[in-house]
A and B are shown apart, each in its own frame.
Chain A
Amino acid sequence: MSGQRHYLGFMPPYILNRLIDHGSEWQRSRALKTLTHVRQFLPATARQSQASVAEAHQPGQLQRNIYDAQHLTVLPGALVRVEGQRASGDVAVDEAYDALGATHDFFWQVYGRDSIDNRGFALAGTAHYGEGYENAFWNGAQMVFGDGDGEVFQRFTRSLDVVAHELTHGVIESEAGLVYRNQSGALNESISDVFGVLTRQYVLKQTAEQADWLIGADLLTDKVKGKGLRSMSHPGTAYDDPVLGKDPQPAHMDDFINTQDDNGGVHLNSGIPNRAFYLVAIALGGSAWERAGQIWYDTLCDKNLDNDANFQAFATLTVQHAHQRFGTEAADAVRKAWEEVGVGLAGESPNERTSGLG
């Protein structure tokens, strides 16, 4: 490949280190090469903020830097609000600041996780990216939010679950590093939805029964026939609109989409594990982040979760973690949820299951 991919230069050293430790031969050689150059490619502000975090970091201490791209597509943009500064008065900037803070707080209070890398990684977010930009993303170093076109989409900082979804992409990269393609990519997407939606439920103090299980419910304008970007409880029902089209997500393995598009349908087939998580949360009841979320978090951080894991491998590990942390009944609920979406477990044929872990 010729030319430098800019965002590789932005890739934080911990991810490169992880690639060097766990990546393929190709990833390792590329990561090693990049790591030696990473300092000079990092924007000066990002370099300074990560350095200051490393110097004097109290566990769980939040560090946010919010930038304004001023409708250009150059990252990170102009620094407009740093940790502790009062509200800027710019709604998108302040929403990004608050949502990143809420997500950090959720991971720290509930799972004892200290930011993206569990070592206090300073959170960088850029608002007003591009012109009418209808997307939000994590680029390996920071979160980025568009303003939406105003016709179909409002600004992407409006939905706390979407902001938390992007931050969770960073967490996944620093843990399991699930490859963003096919089933492992759909798991990557689904896990981001899981902790995205749990962040919102945690802030709103909603039980699994009370929650709407929608991603991006605050993004769509009134003109759109839809409830949000995705529904975790009923994938495929979030919208049906002349401009936006119909929500294409499957909810069951029978409807799994084999496609080359969207990295092998990562945003499509994520509907299947999304619904499995919803079913677990409903079966276990109460606050979904306490048990269902803990099981998923334990699985994400399990060294036995390969970066190219498929649905079955992931499902099998969730049953193990449910059993380890909450016992046989929880494990059965998890097993049943996966069965309901058509995902079998490793080492089990559908008709010879025993109760609990055999």
Chain B
Amino acid sequence: MKELPALGNDATVRLSRQGGQVTTMTRPREIEFAQCNVDEREQICNVLNRCLPQTSTDVGRGDQRFYQIEVRYRSDNRDDQLRFTVPEDQASEELKRLWDKGQV
């Protein structure tokens, strides 16, 4: 995946920190685009797009943590979903901040 698809008003982004010895502290954060203004949406999309080169499906081994990004959106009049994972040691500060504080 080179770039996220265009995300509209109906998109939802869910960020969680997964893996590791402590399973109950994933602290999932859901961001509904309907609650964001156009600028915020664009900034969130930029953060996520910049994560794409760091994504990997081979994550978690030996209790290594990773960030999971799930995007639910509508495309061609149907519901669609994207999921990708970024190893913790590759995750950008802006992604961690978006998960931790919900801020861009």
A contact set with B: CB distance below 8 Å: 1-3, 5-7, 73, 134-140, 153, 156, 162, 165-166, 169-170, 173, 180-181, 185, 216, 229, 244-248, 260-263, 266-268
Contact = CB atoms under 8 A, between A and B. Distances in A.
Q: Is the interface of A mostly helix, strand, loop or mixed?
A: loop
A5 B19 contact: no
B75 interface: no
Given A1-B56, A7-B89, A169-B62, A135 B21 contact: yes
Q: Is the interface of B mostly helix, strand, loop or mixed?
A: loop
Contact of A140 (B16, B56, B61, B68): B61
B83 interface: yes
Given A261-B68, A262-B18, A139 B25 contact: no
Contacts of A267: 19-21, 23
A268 B23 contact: yes
Nearest to B22: A134
Contacts of B12: none
A134 B25 contact: yes
Contacts, number: 89
Nearest to B24: A245
A73 B22 contact: no
Contacts of B64: 7, 137-139
Interface of B: 16, 18-26, 53-56, 58-65, 68, 83, 87, 89-90
A137 B26 contact: no
Nearest to B26: A261
A186 B64 CA distance: 15
A181 B19 CA distance: 11
Contacts of B58: 5
Contact of A162 (B21, B53, B87): B21
Given A1-B56, A137-B62, A263-B59, A244 B24 contact: yes
Contact of A153 (B22, B26, B83): B22
B29 to A, nearest CB: 14
Contacts of A248: 23-24
A137 B60 CA distance: 9
A3 B16 contact: no
Given A1-B56, A5-B56, A180-B60, A135 B20 contact: yes
A135 B24 contact: no
Contact of B63 (A7, A169, A268): A169
A352 B24 CA distance: 40
B20 to A, nearest CB: 4
Contact of B23 (A3, A139, A260, A262): A262
A166 B56 contact: no
Contacts of A260: 83
A11 to B, nearest CB: 10
A260 B18 CA distance: 10
Contact of A5 (B20, B23, B87): B87
